[in-house]
């Protein structure tokens, strides 16, 4: 299997040249655009690697599935989905247009920035620091990695340049979606995006979801089966924003991307996959990462449809 992963990486490395690093968060522009790596964690405990799998990257929007699970644990389904919808979008992940024209009271889904900011505002904590500590501890648990923490430089970079997210959040405060202090909610959001991980860490989250909410390495249940199924469903319909349909056709695995170049994939009852490739396509998804997942899906017969 490691041989297969090495060859899939080498077959697809050329795609990284067609993508571009995210520059709107200046710190992300410092990544190496040739990087391409993959890690697989199977539900029976096997681990496989290929390419630049040891590269650390910030998980960015992949954090949105972590905060969705935590918000659901804290509030239940009814409250969470009274604040955020589950409908796919045909617009960019940081678009503001739907908030004004379509659904001022409810961002379309928790995988776009507006929906993720609304979701994180629901997580319990006596203040922002406490709330983020809970997110970090939950991330450490579901990756099985107690040393996970944030990349301070990326966090500062996001915070100083995050005016688009600020505008989304203040708009949602004006329509009552956000009830808390906006700057505090945003600070937690910037931190969750700046959590640093490797392919293996995100593959482990994928393996937990593939295993319907139970950590395969310890047998501990962290979310209910119905929550795991719901999160995987939202990953299929919204996980790659306005490229989710194309990705479902090309790859057919519940997945979540981030502008750090990571993609987390959960193959039900089989495995979690983590890929890294910081060169992005025009929708903000890893150019090489998608191609690696497409080839693996074909080679290993992973398409859920
Ligand atoms: N931190 C990024 C942002 O808020 C996350 C977006 C992404 O990964 N698509 O713009």
SS3 38: strand
Which structure tokens are listed for 54? 């040891």
Contact 6, 50 (CB under 8 A): yes
What is the pLDDT at residue 103? 82
Ligand 1 binding site (Cβ under 6 Å of any ligand atom)? 60-61, 93-94, 113, 158, 165, 193, 258-259, 284
Per-residue model confidence (pLDDT) at position 265: 98
In tens, the pLDDT along 61-119 reads 999 999 999 999 999 999 999 999 999 999 999 999 989 898 888 999 999 999 999 99
The dihedral of CA 28, 202, 302, 222: what is its sign?
Answer: negative
Neighbours of 215 (CB within 10 A): 18
Q: Is the pLDDT of residue 268 over 90?
A: yes
- The DSSP letter of residue 150 is B
Q: Do domains 2-60+196-299 and 61-193 have the same CATH topology?
A: yes
**pLDDT tens by residue, 6-27:** 999 999 999 999 999 999 999 9
Name the nearest CA neighbour of 176 among 71, 238, 99. 99
Cα 181 to chain centroid, rounded: 24
Using most ligand atoms within 8 A of CB, pick from 259, 278, 283, 285 the residue to mutate for ligand 1: 259
Residues 6+ apart with CB under 8 A from 181: none
DSSP 239: T
Q: Is 263 helix (H, G, I), strand (E, B) or coil?
A: strand
Check residue 110 and give its pLDDT: 97
- pLDDT of 174 reads 96
Predicted confidence (pLDDT) per residue in 147-190, tens digit: 999 999 999 999 999 999 999 999 999 999 999 999 999 999 99
CATH of 61-193, one of 3.30.530.20, 3.40.710.10, 3.40.50.720, 3.40.1190.10: 3.40.710.10
The answer to whether residue 259 is catalytic is yes
Distance 193 CA to ligand 1 centre (A): 7
Ligand 1 center from residue 21 Cα (angstroms): 13
- The residue assigned the tokens 């961002």 is 107
Please give the share of the chain, as a percent, with pLDDT higher than 70: 100
pLDDT for the residue numbered 104: 83
**Is 64 part of the annotated catalytic residue set?**
yes
Compute the average pLDDT of residues 251-274.
98
- CB 227, CB 32: distance < 8 Å: no
Threshold 0.95, pTM exceeds? yes
252 Cα to the center of ligand 1, angstroms: 23
Tokens of 267: 């193959």
Residue with tokens 């239940």: 76
Domain 2-60+196-299 is found in CATH 3.30.70.890: no
The domain spans of the chain are 2-60+196-299, 61-193
What is the distance, to the nearest Å, from the Cα of residue 129 to the centroid of all Cα atoms in its chain?
21
Looking at residue 131, its pLDDT comes to: 98
Average pLDDT (129-157) is 98
Please give the pLDDT value at position 170.
97
Of these residues, 222, 241, 255, 291, which one is catalytic?
241
Biggest alpha carbon distance in the chain? 54
Res 295 pLDDT > 90: yes
pLDDT at 257 over 90: yes
Report residue 284's pLDDT band, with 50, 70 and 90 as the boundaries. Answer: very high
- What is the residue-averaged pLDDT of the chain? 97
Residue 248 CA, ligand 1 centroid: distance in Å: 21
Residue 222 confidence (pLDDT) above 90: yes
8 is catalytic: no
């Amino acid at each position: 299997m490691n041989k297969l992963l090495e060859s899939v990486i080498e077959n697809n490395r050329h795609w990284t040249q067609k993508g571009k690093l995210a520059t709107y968060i200046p710190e992300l522009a410092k990544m190496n655009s040739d990087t391409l790596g993959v890690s697989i964690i199977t539900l029976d405990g096997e681990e496989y690697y290929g390419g630049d799998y040891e590269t650390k990257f910030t998980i960015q929007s992949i954090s949105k599935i972590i905060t969705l699970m935590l918000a659901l644990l804290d509030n239940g389904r009814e409250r969470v989905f009274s604040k955020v919808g589950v409908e796919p979008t045909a617009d960019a992940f940081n678009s503001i247009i739907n908030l004004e024209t379509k659904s001022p009271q409810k961002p379309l889904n928790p995988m776009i920035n507006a929906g993720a900011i609304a979701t994180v505002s629901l997580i319990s904590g006596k203040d922002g620091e406490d709330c983020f500590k809970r997110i970090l501890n939950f991330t450490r648990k579901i990756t099985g990695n107690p040393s996970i923490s944030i990349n301070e430089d990326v966090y500062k970079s996001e915070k100083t340049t995050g005016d688009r997210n600020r505008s989304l959040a203040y708009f949602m405060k004006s329509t009552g979606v956000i009830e808390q202090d906006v700057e505090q909610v945003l600070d937690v959001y910037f931190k969750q995006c700046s959590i640093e991980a490797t392919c293996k860490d995100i593959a482990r989250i994928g393996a937990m979801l593939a295993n319907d909410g139970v950590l395969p390495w310890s047998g501990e249940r962290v979310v209910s089966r119905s929550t795991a199924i719901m999160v995987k469903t939202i990953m299929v319909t919204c996980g790659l924003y306005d490229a989710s349909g194309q990705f479902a056709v090309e790859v057919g695995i519940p997945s979540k991307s981030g502008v750090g170049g990571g993609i987390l994939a959960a193959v039900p009852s089989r495995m979690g996959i983590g890929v890294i490739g910081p060169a992005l396509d025009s929708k903000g998804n890893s150019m090489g990462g998608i191609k690696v997942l497409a080839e693996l899906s074909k080679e290993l017969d992973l398409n859920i449809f």
